[in-house]
Chain A
Amino acid sequence: MKNIALGQYYPAKSPLHRLDPRIKVLLALIYICAAAFCKNIIGFGVLLVSALLIVALGRIPFKTIFRSLTPVLFVMLFAVFFQVFFTKGDMLLFAWWKLQIYGEGLYLALFTIVRIFTLIIGTSMFLTYTTTPIELTYAIEDLLSPLKKLKVPVHDFAMMMTLALRFIPTLVEEADKIMTAQKARGADFSTGSLVQRAKALKPVLIPLIVSAMRHAVELAVAMECRCYHGDGTRMVVRKCRFSDIAALIVMIIFLAGIIYLNILGLVYTA
């Protein structure tokens, strides 16, 4: 239990890992836009190729990627099912009783798969796999820093995220210990109906909440003692390098290209 992976950061040395996390947040956003705007058949081909290219650049094994895709497989199949069977168009391919499958439906299903696939690749490759949670926190804080002028406590939000990340393993470990202690008193977490099992969690949840509160109070005092006041400097000051800027420009051109393809035509919409 102690060894749970936070996020799904995959430690490796790759061009993607080296990029400035702030740039990666922007890249992910632009890439998502590209996937969302694309309506062109060639565009979808380009998206698919780009997604594979990004995976290769991040040096993440395909096995790991596919494992992270399994949870959304159901959503994909569901979307495919609806689009295959409920899209009506001109190209009737197959008809039996009330079921009619049109060519347009197949196209749309295919596009949906590509779109969901690229969305997931885009976010996971730029954010979770190649960026540590703490880098991500700092990146979001930096990108949101203009809001500081509007008196939005951006630094405090970032601190909260960091603390959450810091304390998840500690609390998981504690939950484990409390569960063991209650098992030693005969608590049963693994048999009985769903309601019974939910009830059986009370002896774990209450001590866990009490403990989390105590952590919070003591932590607040310790942070005060270290002069926390919601602002300060940063030890590591990231500077955008040439490669970061280059990546951003390439991505903007990519988005422009996808939109341009839409204008060209060959558009399939329902």
Chain B
Amino acid sequence: MDLPFIKVENISYSYKGDGGVGVPVIKELSLEIREGEFVAVLGHNGSGKSTLAKLLNMIFSPQSGKIYIDGKDITAPDMTDDDVFALRKTVGMVFQNPDNQLVATIVEDDVAFGPENLSVPSEEIRKRVDEALRAVGMTKYAHHEPHRLSGGQKQRVAIAGIIAMLPKCIIFDESTAMLDPIGRREVMQTIKMLNEKMGITVIMITHYMDEAAMAGRIVVLDEGRIALDGKPSEVFEREELLRSMGLDVPQCAAIIHRLREAGVALKGDCTTPEKCAELIGRALGGEGRDV
């Protein structure tokens, strides 16, 4: 059987609300993600996007449906503890609050935490820690205390802690939500690097439209179902639909849409200011006009 890296088949999940009544969060959702993809997951609060992330990492288990990751059925009843560890080693997760994922009082000890738990030999841990810190540009801070770092730096240390487990895929669960613009930029650059240079599959849950625009593919969740799935340029075309789901489009894309509605012929991707400037420039006859 030729399976994609992640295959989610018709899963449903509800949590127990007041008085034990099940509140459905994920409803018969199916999704496929190939190895090496960079997928952004958008949705308003309560759309089920964080739940989906936790299902992929076996923090929750779906009540029905199947999830295959890296060729293995993780919803099978015969999953052992070792299978769970193997899954979490393959699919790492970075959370929203940087403070709540750092466990050690020294940066490099924290990065070593995952490999130590996986009983990796000591010399190998040392090597992985150094490489992971270098990859996220935090080598200089190896001996610092985490609580003295900035938010962006803490998140990069958290990412290094996951990289040191040599995952194939990393899920970012609103990992930039608590950061300032500099921290967000640092983390987004790191995420892009993971995907492009290290070939790690990235699933990024966010509610920043400009971040989603950097992904190769956007999946929009609404009420526990997939509402849209496509390239950023395709998804941001659907401004009306996105707004009706409590989401937004990047401001530039919104302007291009209005210009198009007013009859201006602008063809192409308009997800970033750079791309918009190119479209408008070409149409208006600045440099690089189509003649």
Contact = CB atoms under 8 A, between A and B. Distances in A.
B103 A224 contact: no
B85 interface: yes
B18 interface: no
A226 interface: yes
B85 A229 contact: yes
Given A218-B97, A225-B88, A227-B118, 13 more contacts: A2-B147, A134-B105, A162-B105, A166-B105, A170-B99, A173-B147, A222-B95, A225-B57, A225-B93, A226-B88, A232-B118, A232-B119, A233-B119
Decide if the interface of chain B is mainly helix, strand, loop or mixed: helix
Contacts of A166: 102-105, 146-147
A232 B88 contact: no
Nearest to A226: B114
26 contacts: A134-B105, A134-B106, A159-B103, A163-B103, A214-B100, A215-B100, A218-B101, A219-B100, A219-B101, A221-B95, A222-B101, A222-B103, A225-B59, A225-B88, A225-B92, A225-B93, A226-B162, A228-B113, A228-B117, A233-B115, A233-B116, A233-B120, A234-B122, A235-B115, A235-B125, A235-B129
Contacts of A257: none
A133 interface: yes
Interface in A140-175: 159, 162-163, 165-166, 169-170, 173
Contacts, number: 98
Nearest to B110: A166
B93 A235 contact: no
A206 interface: no
B112 interface: yes
A236 interface: yes
A223 B114 CA distance: 8
Contacts of A233: 115-116, 119-122, 125
Nearest to A3: B148
A133 B145 CA distance: 12
Given A173-B147, A229-B85, A229-B117, A215 B103 contact: no
A134 B109 contact: yes
B81 interface: yes
Given A134-B109, A235-B122, A227 B102 contact: no
B85 A235 contact: no
B126 interface: yes
Contacts of A169: 145, 147
Contacts of A218: 95, 97, 100-101
Interface centre among A162, A219, A224, A235 (most CB of B within 10 A): A235
A264 interface: no
B100 A222 contact: yes
A237 interface: yes
A163 B101 CA distance: 11
